[in-house]
């Protein structure tokens, strides 16, 4: 997995060379941790996770889910399992497990579908339920699309509610950072192609 991660990061930085400084912490982390440590969610130096933004194209809305442990609305995602062959596989599995959705397609930013639209580094607060200390997530964030909004089957242990929000609401939520500009550009390019 580590070779795959390095390859994805290198390709990602070719697409987003302006992010070299932003990705320096992640690169340093990769250089200092072994194959097993980078996806071990008991590695509290940090670990790689994968997630997916879900966009309903007819309604022009995004799915967000209320995360019980973090006490905020977030996009679906989570830890990489041993059976996941890469971060994209993990993101697809997490989306299915957390939403029940099966009919989504990836909006790719390059020929290589493993390249996410964003790699984000963020701290995760102490988890009261699981008694996990504060640690860092290196989040491979992908963009998926469905035709229109639908009911979601939530995992009540992790989430307690969901909403479909529009682009303005997504943009105004500071939890998403730089990814909203990337999402709007990708969706804008799709509109231009029509």
Write out pLDDT tens, residues 1-48.
Answer: 999 999 999 999 999 999 999 999 999 999 999 999 999 988 888 899
Domain count, the chain: 1
Q: Measure Cα distances from 67 to 71, 75, 158 in Å.
A: 5, 9, 6
What is the C-alpha separation between 25 and 121, in angstroms, rounded?
8
pLDDT tens profile 68-112: 888 889 999 999 999 999 999 999 999 999 999 999 999 999 999
192 confidence band (pLDDT: 50, 70, 90): very low
Angle, CA of 120, 121 and 123, to the nearest 5°: 130
What pTM was computed for the model?
0.92
What is the C-alpha separation between 18 and 50, in angstroms, rounded?
22
The pLDDT of residue 190? 67
**Full residue range of the structural domain in which residue 129 is found:** 2-193
The pLDDT of residue 178? 81
pLDDT over threshold 60, residue 185? yes
pLDDT over threshold 80, residue 189? no
Length of the chain: 194
**Average pLDDT, stretch 130-135?**
76
CATH number at residue 16: 3.90.79.10
159 confidence band (pLDDT: 50, 70, 90): confident
């Amino acid at each position: 997995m580590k070779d795959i991660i390095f390859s994805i990061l290198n390709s990602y930085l070719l697409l987003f060379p302006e992010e070299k400084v932003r990705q320096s912490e992640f690169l340093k982390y990769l250089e200092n941790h072994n194959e097993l440590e980078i996806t071990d969610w008991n590695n509290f130096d940090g670990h790689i996770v994968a997630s997916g933004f879900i966009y309903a194209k007819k309604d022009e809305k995004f799915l967000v889910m209320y995360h019980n442990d973090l006490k905020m609305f977030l996009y679906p995602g989570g830890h990489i399992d041993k059976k996941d062959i890469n971060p994209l596989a993990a993101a697809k599995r997490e989306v299915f497990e957390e939403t029940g959705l099966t009919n989504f397609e990836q909006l790719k930013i390059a020929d290589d579908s493993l390249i996410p639209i964003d790699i984000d580094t963020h701290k995760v607060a102490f988890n009261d339920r699981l008694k996990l200390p504060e640690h860092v997530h290196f989040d491979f964030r992908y963009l998926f699309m469905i035709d229109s909004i639908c009911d979601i089957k939530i995992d009540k242990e992790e989430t307690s509610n969901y909403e479909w929000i529009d682009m303005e609401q997504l943009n105004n939520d500071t939890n998403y950072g730089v990814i909203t500009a990337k999402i709007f550009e990708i969706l804008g390019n799709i509109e231009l192609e029509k």
